Structure 1
Amino acid sequence: MAGLHARYEATHLALATRGGTITDASGEQAGHVDLVQFSGGRLRVAGWARADRVRLIHGGHEDSGCPHLRRPDVASQLGLVETLGFELSVPARLADLRSEAPPGLTLTEEQGRPPILPLSLRIPISRRARLLCAIRFLRDATLGLPAALGWLATRDPIFRARFKSRLRLSTPLASGPLEPRLFDVEPAETAQAEPRITIVLPVYNAFELLQLCLERVVSHTDLPWRLILIEDGSSDERVRPFLRDWARDRANVELLENPENLGFIRSVNRGLDRARDREGPSEGPVVLLNSDALVPDRWASRLVRPFERDPGVASVTPMSNDAEIFSTPVICSRTQLSPGQGDAIDRVAAEFAPEVLLSSAPTGVGFCMAMGRDWLARVPQLDTAFGRGYGEEVDWCRKVARLGGRHLGLPGLFVEHRGGESFGSAEKLRLVAHNNEIISRRYPEYDQSVQDFIAADPLRTARLALGLAWAGSLDPARPVPIYMAHDLGGGAEHYLEQRIEADLAEGCPSVVLRVGGSRRWQIELATPGGRCHGRTDDTALARRLLSILPRRHVVYSCGVGDRDPVELPQMLLSLMVEDGSAELLFHDFYPLAPAYTLLDRTGAYRGPPVGAVEDPGFSARRPDGTRVDLATWQAAWKAFAERADLVVFSRDSARIVSAVWPDLTPRLSLRPHRLRHTPPPLRPVPDGRPVLGVLGNIGLQKGAAVVQTLGRRLAAPGTPGMVLIGNIDPAFALPPKVEVHGSYRVEDLSRIARQHGVTHWLIPSVWPETFCYTVHEALATGLPVMAFDIGAQGDAVRTAENGIVLPFHPDADLAARVIDALPLLAMDKAS
């Protein structure tokens, strides 16, 4: 519990203070520290200085910040020519902040000025803050007790993940539930009298796009329609003559020509005034349509359907690639489309159940917004206070909302928006900034309502489905990768992120089907503009959503944590298309045995799981209580393996897979990982005592029992020192002599090792790692590295000049094997 509390406090305790004035040797102000903050295991210092360089130094770590981060606000206020703004950050622990050597700033002064004095930074450690953190820890640990008991009883990783989640020691993706009824289309109802819609379309330049916009209105509108065009004095001399010719022989088209440029809002108001000239039961909603909006086939009937069912509906806005809160695949993020993509996306939208996911929204978006006639009669015009445009539809929607009108987002229609064509992007940014201030003054609650909508995202399921349609429409000949992964973090997650980044760099989005969370399936779509995700227990829904992708490359990354993992191979097979490709990545050995680390119930590795293995750890319990033996498990996974390329990351992993599935050896390929960051080389401190650095987050399979025993045996005076750079499973308490640094970043590893005087590394893993990042990071420092002669860690130290191979036997005293090597450490240190 003490170890858990220490990790909880390091993660969640936040302390902050102001740092004070920076002075030079003459006593004049040379800068100011605006903030000193400790949070998440790092110390952050921000401020400004009249200096060429600022350095933050603490505990052997140093950060010199951004030398080009200027602060013109400070310079102008103080009458200075130029100042240096800085935001510096170094690793820190709570214990460091209590030490007698506080963090310090050193500054290199400008030439010709008095020297700037170093500044010591002390951050007060509030007893009240620590007490509140301890109370929150007890609360969270108590709420997580069922998960802890589940872990103790079953050793199922899903319980461990739930307990970490309850303590907020992991960072889950912000993901909400998916609506299972999205595709439940009911039989069509008897057709009612079709209303006639009135389309108000203001025009200013954008000649080439205008022609396409009008062609689509004519060919794709499936209701009786009337079009009111307002030509607003375009500077392009082709526009007005074209519109005159185009409208001349069309009885349902009316062209209004502004004598001069009136701007978007006044042009729309002319159109709205004319639209209200005709009233009657056959007159339907008025649609405000931009000339850069490209409507798809059968768009009108879908857009006006909500008005027929609810007289309280005041506006309806479809989904789009550029429509703020109605944008897909990422909310409030514009996505550029190629010709044909919009129609491909809308074909998926047309399959949605019409009434499912109709969502109340704080506003509509005027690029393509249907407006109820009754509500237009009550608020007949847009407010001209918004100048040439942007924000006027928000103002109209908020006025109508105060009268009781509802604004809906329509998931079942996708309208492509070539945003920015009418006014130009630079002008849009200026107008948006100015008009947002008006909205904020008039409707103080509006910004929060938008944030609430974004957080809840009631259109999440449609946004994800349409995002998948977008991904599948990018290049029909190129498969979209679908990665099955867990949510436990670690090396597999780092590798997955590297793959996703590489995919995006090549212009290909990626999909992750994640297991082990609060719902069985979480689907994530990674795009250049961000990610959208949703979760569900409905396997059929997950399959249906992923089937939107016409071509798929299915990749198994890791399924540890799933509630019924013997079903995962069949799920993977069901996602493959007939001529599709697949990969099976051996980040661990889950496809070979339920004990994914190949450790038996005693925590020992006894070789590849070949033949009849009687150990109960090599069978699995399904949710209904039945057990799956090893042979059944391996047969289920082999069905997928036979259709996939098998990828291993070390030679030892290849040997293990070949031992279990010798006939699949030709499908194996070896692809060692690349390091995320290569630490700079280190040299031991001359004449210092040996200090053994244990690297990584150490659980049972990572050798926690070895580290615990070793720490106790090295407690005597005169023995080598020992430090854990990382964390250890709280079930394995360490003696006070063993210092636990806590979480670290790889780029800080050499600094941390130098701070603790590390002379040798120990990688204590007792399972055959498939690839060991920590052993390669340790080897990169140049210091001697010890590891047991199994797995990827054994392969690595065996072939490295600074590697030390420790003999391994599952029933041996492994801590003694390390101690036996300690005289070699002393000899090596002396040499």
Structure 2
Amino acid sequence: MDKVHFGIDSLVFRDQTIFGFGWLFHALEEVATLSLRLVSADCQEVYDISVEHGKPRSDVQDSYFASPHSLNSGFVVYGGCAKRIDQITRLSLVGNLASGDRFEVTVSSACLTNLDAPNACWSHALLLHRTKSFLRRGWSLIKQGQFAALSDKARRHLRANHRGSEVSVDAIVHGLTLGGPGKSVLVIDHDLGGGANQYRDGLVADRLSRGATVLVLSYQVATLNHMLLIYGRQPGRRYSIPGLSFVHDLAHRIRFDEVIYNTAVSFVRPEEIPDLIIALKAHHNPFVTMLLHDFFTVCPSHFLLNHQGVFCNLPEGKECRECLQKNQQGFATLFQLKNIEHWRASWGKALSAADRIVTFSNSSLQLLSRAYPQLDLSHAETLPHKVAHFLSEPLLPSDVTALRIGVVGHIAYHKGAKIVQDLAREIARRDTSIQIVVFGTLDANCPERIVTVTGSYKQAQLPELIRDHGVNTFLFPSICPETFSYVVQELMELHCPVACFDLGAPAERLRNYSKGLILREQGASVVLDALIEFHRKIYSLPTTRAIAAEDAA
């Protein structure tokens, strides 16, 4: 289609897994959904992987400033298929427009780097292409004064293009022997950033303070490579390893005194992680802790979103099996068996082998119990995160007369990007003066006169930003059951009014919060009405009817 514009910044394939990012927009219409399609050589099999679309790309907007859809054109794709890349003959991006029309554009094979090829390595051309893309985006951020976002992107760019040194089991064993007789701790964790990685950093610091050596088994999505990070007497070292077999071999040579499962979201062949935990437990009986930062132990769709992108509420039997077969969300496609009984059996054994299970809310423990009704959870405990970023004194909004809605965080689809978009459009439809301010980023195209997006910020800046933008009522729009939510806790610490849907840990806490509101429906009109009434009630403002009666008198 000549009205569809797109570009591929990076697309790499390894071990039946693909990762890429770029941009795509239609000149006249909004793109509603987007998928990457892989077609087998015999054209008998088609694999569609959902693409996270709608991410801000100011560099693309600079080049296509006349198009209203160029800003939120960025996309990221990550997922698996059951074929080797030499068995795939066609790649394309397929999607639906807001009008309902479908489109498909071919992705050239020249855009793809096959890391499974003999003697494959990161080519200079690929690294140069990625660096040019980073510089283009970086210059756009500099022009907008988004220095916090630029710093964050720089860190991620450097990490994504550094695979770490190759290493042997002998070298690791020798290095640990030189480090002294302290305990060895293995942490299993992703490399995606966010709250789970922050929690891991705290774990590493704590164990180091006790004299232990900490090894972090991770997976780097950008390079499609398993990583081993080692922290001890020397500064952190980062190594590329061939796979989980490396850790099995290592466990035969050294003793792991403690194994901590933080999360394995994004790992290829994730069903092998519980087998690893069970094998490690059998080797030297380490103390095993399982942490529930998400619901990956329950389902490969770790936000518990079904194939339609809606919270599934853990259905039973046939419905659950059929959903996993149809689910095209990237992380879900990494489990290529697509058999929920196999998944729960494997993770159930790991949970049973654990000495300790930690959840961060009662709602998470309840969902875990529903998924595993036969599991003995007597060794499970609920320990909410501690938030000590702000002083506990109330934040007084600079203006309460007009409703000004705040949304905090990096708002992707599961965090409620569509909710914010629909709410903004409902405000525009009613032609009211209500404004929305997103403190962070938003993966959706919204009316600029209604929605302001600040971009990334440092955590300590949030109170000042709230005052500067005159926000007085907050919406936490997540459509999945969060296991905790630092954002909600931080807003409560600031004594801000907060509304959320009846899902997960946020709803659990806001029920007992004097300035909390539980929204029963997700429709934009109902949400807007509820927020208007919530704002009036919190600030003791007169209703429209009362104002009219006073004027008449």
Q: Does 1:594 align with 2:305?
A: no
Amino acid at match of 1:725: F
Between 1:627-636 and 1:166-175, the stretch displaced more is: 166-175
Amino acid at match of 2:324: F
Amino acid at match of 1:783: C
Structure-2 residue corresponding to 1:761:
474
Match of 2:236, SS? strand
- Alignment-mate amino acid for residue 526 of structure 2: A
Tell me the distance in 1 between the aligned counterparts of 2:335 and 2:163. Answer: 29
Deviation at 1:618, TM superposition (A): 2.7
SS for the counterpart of 1:640 is helix
Alpha-carbon distance in 2 for matches of 1:668, 1:150? 46
Instruction: Answer yes or no: is 1:466 the counterpart of 2:174.
Output: yes
Q: 1:487·1:514 contact (CA, 8 Å) conserved in 2?
A: yes
Tell me how far 1:540 sits from its aligned partner.
Answer: 2.6
The answer to whether the Cα contact below 8 Å between 2:186 and 2:216 also exists between their aligned partners in 1 is yes
* Correspondence 1:408-427 to 2 at 5 A: none
SS in 2 for 1:555: strand
Q: What is the CA distance between 1:579 and its match in structure 2?
A: 2.1
8 A contact 1:706–1:814 mirrored in 2: yes
> Which residue matches 2:418?
705
Does structure 1 residue 638 correspond to structure 2 residue 345? no
Superposed displacement of residue 491, structure 1: 1.0
CA distance in 1 between partners of 2:249 and 2:384 (Å) = 35
CA separation in 2, counterparts of 1:744 and 1:639? Answer: 41
Q: Using the aligned pairs only, state the percent identity.
A: 24
What is aligned with 2:517? 804
TM-score, normalised by the number of residues in structure 2: 0.65
Long gaps (5+) in structure 1: 5-129, 136-140, 154-161, 184-351, 353-461
- Counterpart amino acid of residue 733 in structure 1: N
2:263 paired with 1:558: yes
Sort the Cα spacing of 1:151 and 1:481 in 2 relative to 1 into closer, same or farther, 3 A: farther
For 2:359, the equivalent position in structure 1 comes to 648
Give TM-score, length-normalised by structure 1. 0.45
Matched letter for residue 734 of structure 1? C
- Residue 500 of structure 1 and its aligned partner are, at CA, apart by 1.2
Q: Secondary structure at the match of 1:618?
A: helix
Report the Cα offset of residue 151 of structure 1. Answer: 9.4
Separation of aligned partners in 2, 1:175 and 1:824:
49
How big is the shift at 1:147? 6.0
Tell whether the 8 Å contact from 1:485 to 1:559 is kept in structure 2 after alignment.
Answer: yes
- Determine helix, strand or coil for the equivalent of 1:563: coil
Q: What's the CA shift for 1:547?
A: 4.5
Structure 1 residue 616 displacement after superposition: 4.5
Alpha-carbon distance change, 652 to 506 in structure 1, aligned in 2, over 3 angstroms: same
- The Cα offsets for residues 593-645 of structure 1, whole Å up to 9 and x where unpaired, read as 11111111111113135444346543589999953311111101112111112
Helix, strand or coil at the partner of 1:799: coil
- Offset of 1:743 from its aligned partner? 0.8
2:212 aligns to what? 508
Query: Measured at CA, do residues 629 and 553 of structure 1 come closer, stay the same or move farther in structure 2, by a change above 3 Å?
Result: same
Q: How does 1:579-618 map to 2 (within 5 A)?
A: 579-614=285-320, 616-618=322-324
Q: Which residue of 1 aligns with 2:382?
A: 670
Displacement of 1:659 after TM fit? 0.9
Worse overlay, 483-492 or 171-180: 171-180
Q: Which of 435, 448, 451 is equivalent to 1:721?
A: 435
Q: What's the secondary structure of 1:515's corresponding residue?
A: strand
What displacement does 1:133 show?
Answer: 11
**1:233-244 pair list within 5 angstroms:** none
Change (3 A) 1:506 1:762: same
**Matched residue type, 2:360:** F
Gaps of 5+ in 2: 8-57, 64-71, 80-90, 96-125, 135-152, 542-553
Aligned partners of 2:255 and 2:284 also within 8 Å: no
Deviation at 1:465, TM superposition (A): 4.3
Find the counterpart in structure 1 of residue 530 from structure 2: 820
Mark the CA change 1:474 to 1:623 in structure 2 (over 3 Å): closer, same or farther. Answer: same
CA distance in 1, matches of 2:220, 2:264: 8
Aligned residue for 2:186, secondary structure, equals strand
- Partner secondary structure for residue 481 of structure 1: strand
Is the radius of gyration larger for structure 1 or structure 2?
1
Residue identity opposite 2:189 in structure 1: A
Q: How does 1:22-171 map to 2 (within 5 A)?
A: 169=153, 170-171=156-157
In the alignment, the residues of structure 2 paired with residue 813 and residue 634 of structure 1 have an alpha-carbon distance, to the nearest angstrom, of: 33
Gap change, CA 1:758 and 1:514, over 3 Å in 2:
same
Distance 2:200 2:334 in 1: 32
- For residue 681 of structure 1, report the CA deviation from its aligned partner: 2.8
Distance (whole Å) between structure 1 residues aligned to residue 74 and residue 59 of structure 2: 19
Residue 249 of structure 2: aligned partner: 544
Of 741, 744, 765, 2:457 maps to 744
Note closer, same or farther for the CA distance 1:532–1:782 as it changes in structure 2 (3 Å cut). same
2:31 maps to what in 1? none
| CA spacing shift, 1:626–1:540, aligned 2, 3 Å | closer
Give the residue type in structure 2 aligned to 1:634: R
CA distance in 2, matches of 1:830, 1:630: 50
Give, as a single letter, the amino acid of the residue that structure 2 aligns with 1:636. Answer: S
Question: Is structure 2 residue 280 aligned with structure 1 residue 575?
Answer: yes
2:149 corresponds to which residue?
none
Residue 491 (structure 1) aligns with: 195
> In 2 relative to 1, CA 686–567 (structure 1 residues): closer, same or farther, beyond 3 Å?
closer
Q: CA 1:612/1:481 → structure 2, altered by over 3 Å: closer, same or farther?
A: farther
Change (3 A) 1:134 1:748: same
Give the match for residue 321 of structure 1: none
Deviation at residue 515 of structure 1 after TM alignment: 1.9
Query: Cα gap change, 1:815/1:765 in structure 2, threshold over 3 Å: closer, same or farther?
Result: farther
Q: How does 1:250-649 map to 2 (within 5 A)?
A: 352=170, 462=171, 464-470=172-178, 473-475=180-182, 478=183, 480-517=184-221, 518-527=223-232, 529-545=234-250, 547-576=252-281, 577-614=283-320, 616-619=322-325, 627-644=337-354, 645-649=356-360
1:461-512: CA deviations, max 9, x gaps?
Answer: x3x44333345x433xx4x221111111111111111111222222223211
Cα displacement (A) at 1:718:
3.4
Q: Deviations over 1:68-123 (max 9, x none)?
A: xxxxxxxxxxxxxxxxxxxxxxxxxxxxxxxxxxxxxxxxxxxxxxxxxxxxxxxx
Determine if contact 1:553/1:580 at 8 Å carries over to the other structure.
yes
Classify 1:820/1:657 alpha carbon distance in 2 versus 1 (closer, same or farther; 3 Å).
Answer: same
Amino acid at match of 1:474: P
Instruction: Compute the displacement of 1:683 (Å).
Output: 0.8
Check the 8 A contact 2:264/2:270 in 1, yes or no: yes
Is the 8 Å Cα contact of residues 703 and 766 (structure 1) preserved in structure 2?
A: yes
- Cα distance, 1:588 vs. partner? 0.6
Q: CA RMSD in A?
A: 3.7
Higher normalized contact order (CA 8 Å, seq sep 6+, divided by chain length): 2
